[in-house]
Structure 1
Amino acid sequence: MAARRFALAALPLLVAGMALAQEGSSARLPAVEKPLPPPPSRTPRASVMIADYRYDDLMWENDRTAHRIYGHALEAAEPPSGSGVDSWGKNVAWPFMDRQLRSGDQHAYHGEGLDFYNVGAGRGAGGLGIWHDNKLWTSRNYRAHRILSNGPGAADFEVDYAPWPVDVDRRVWETRRFTLPLGTHFTRMVSTLRSDKPGPLVVGIGIGKRATGDGGDLTVDRARGLLSFWGPADPRHGRMAIAVRVDPAMIAEIRNDADNYMVLLKVTPGKPFVYYSGSAWDLGQGGFRTRAAWDAYVAAEPVTFTPPPAPTR
């Protein structure tokens, strides 16, 4: 679908998507291949941790959703590893990602969730890049991190991305803060981009088109700054639902490239901006079994776009 059609048809798409919602996944939870070790506690909590045993994967989760970004060491081990955001399905309220990853097969179902989302070269669940000359220029994996709060009420941390090229005449770099409280499917992102050249940037925030296979349905509501993706049904795994919320006043365009559905924002280097990235598994926490239910939740999510004060270090 052309970018212009996305932009002009935004609100009708939301209405039509909710009125003509598809049925939920026909899949059921897979058979448990090998149960995970029991959790230290079954109390719901938000958490963030570094998997130093697995190339410094940085994982965060709460009672509803679970995510991962990749460390610098993975670039050599699993090229072409990149800075997209991974999303896992979970069907328990307590943390499971560390035990799942330590199982040696995070892609299998061990009773608490699984990773069947393939970020690849795309932006996954709300990664970003710089849009220039009809191309998205993206960073490599994060280089440094600072954990600000490891729950229980919120997972809160920052990462730095090393400078990366935008065409041949500009370089940019980023610090991004991630905050995931209990009780929501959305991580609040605060991004600060800097550049070696003056002038504004156009930032593309994306949702991977084929992270769980071909197909799926996109809802666009430009007035709310909303992109919502109801992923294709996998007969063994179900669906992943992904959404992005941005400040509507910052939107330059809504379009797509080969790998991503994107919203393009006008950004000033050095000035923090806020956006939200959310996900849900239709067999997991949250009870989202239809596209209509997910779209309604995404549209109703309370969002604020005023950046918080910089954390004290």
Structure 2
Amino acid sequence: MAMTTNGPQLMATIPWTSATAAVHQFLTAALSHRGAAALPYAEDARWTIHQHLAALSHAFPTLRPTAGHFTHNDGRGATLLRSEGTVPLATSSSACLSISIWLLEAYPNLPPAVFLSFPPGTAVKPRHPLVDPSGSVSIPYLRSWIFPYYNLVDLVRSLAHLFSQDPPFAISPSPIHDAKARETAKVVEAVQRHLAAAGKSHTAEMEALLDTQTQLKRRKAEIARGLTRLEEEKELLEQQLQMLIMNCDVTESWVAKNHRRPTASLDGVFEPSNAHSRRAMECVAADMAAEDVMYVLDEALREGCVPLDAYLKSVRAMSREQFFHRAISAKLAPPQLELDN
């Protein structure tokens, strides 16, 4: 009895994200090799092979993909992908089928090669309709294989269904074996749960690392732009520094050429042109000096450094002197011309 389903519909409903990260990592690495180490599959079939094996590992966690050497009937050898492990049978909780599913070079256009392996002390039932003495399996699902409507998941389900009805070897489990099988199944289930949780954790870590990598790349670009701006500013500052050095050289040359000139006295900077002007300048200077003295006397009186009588006496004397100097300055000042309105 061949169990068939719509292959594309099955592949669309499989929750790929819950498959273990190890399976996806192995398949990605194995199918991405190029050159002499490349697997002999068509380029456009590699993604389909990846999907089929990952879906099979998800549906039957005891089946894991590996790579191995396969020898054809004509003696040719090739390194191919296979999925091997055990598949439980419905006839007994401890009965399992040890199978190896080899994906030949033309897969998925041609069906895979399926082989059974038997526990020590057992053999294939004589004249079994689905298995030959070498362990090679031939079931209707394989003989009527049509891609893309057939896939590995339905193939294994068909194998489990057919061999549950007609086991390829005698099954006589003992109570002790059943107990051991149950304990083994519990351990396997616990390990599978642990692997699933670890896979989710690793997936989250990988996503966080990818996000960090994206941020680092963005910051690297920002730093590169900042370094470029700093280099431009550095070049501009170096140009300005060269200009300052040139200006300093020019200034130093000018100073070296002119520093030996005699320094003029401050008193000789402003020279009156005649005696009349000299007298006027002296009166103005005396007037301002008297004003400064009276200001100092005011400060001294405020701070209590000068008694009041001495302050008044000095102020009267300075005021009298200032009055005379101002009067002389007024006489010496040139007449002001009045403009008629």
State TM-score, norm by structure 1. 0.24
**Which structure: larger Rg?**
2
Larger relative contact order (CA 8 Å, sep ≥ 6): 1
Higher share of residues assigned strand: 1
